[in-house]
Structures are given as structure tokens and as C-alpha cells.
Amino acid sequence: VFVCVCVCTPQCSSHAQVNELKAVVSECNRGLWWKVMMCTEIENLALRQIVVTSTNPRSGAASAPAIKETSEPQELNVLDQIIAMALERTATMTHADQSSRYRALAARHDALRTTWIKVMGSLPGPEHWREGNVSEQ
């Protein structure tokens, strides 16, 4: 059983959304080091979002567009990348076919990102990201 313990501030961990995302990461079928890295990144994104929003309240006003079902790849925000990587390896209920599985995963992804936007004001922008790409780590 994996329990994500990250060095964080009470401001981040008090948000149910941060804990919900860390729970999704902890339940996925990935290595322990990856889970620790992603939980830490979620904490860091939340903390940066809180700092940016508290110093500039207008920065959190814009929301991100919804993810569309298309066959073409889309540019994903760093938080979307973390959610997608965790959900892809999460054991889910059995579905009749792959398309229904991916629709269920897309709905879960959209619910997680919508809740983040409601709680944090917007998805993390480039000013919240640390150097490098999360998927490369």
C-alpha cells in the first residue's frame, strides 16, 4: 500500500482537490518513485497556484478549455499530463470495449480538472511549472 507523504505546506494539503489527485496517483499501477515525484509535483503546482493567485488575484480568473474528444493529439497542461498518466494505469471497472473505457477515463479526467479549476481558480500556467517536462522525469 502506497501512502503519499510529501513535504508540503498546510495551505496545499488542506485542499481536498490536492489530496484527491494524490489519491489517484497513489492508486495507479506505476513505480513508487514515479508516484512520489507526481505527488510532489501536484503539491508544488498547488503551492505555486496559491502564491500566484494570492499575489495577483486576476491571474486565476481565466479557466482552461475542456479537453475535446479528437483523434489528433492535444497540447496538455502539466496537470493534465499527470492526470492522464495516472488514469491510464489505474485499474478501472471492466468495460465492454476500449472506447467505453476511454470515455470513462476522459470523464474522470474532466471531473478532476474541473474541480481543480473551481478550487484553484484555473489550471496551472507555464509560470507554475518547474524546468523540464513532467513526462520526461
Q: DSSP secondary-structure letter at 127?
A: G
Q: Give the pLDDT confidence of 75-84 residue by residue, as tens digits.
A: 678 899 999 9
Query: How far is 46 from 100, CA to CA, in rounded Å?
Result: 31
Find how far residue 104's CA is from the centre of its chain.
17
Shortest CA distance to 63 belongs to which of 105, 119, 12, 15?
119
Q: Give the pLDDT confidence of 32-43 residue by residue, as tens digits.
A: 999 999 999 999
Q: Which cell goes with 92?
A: 478501472
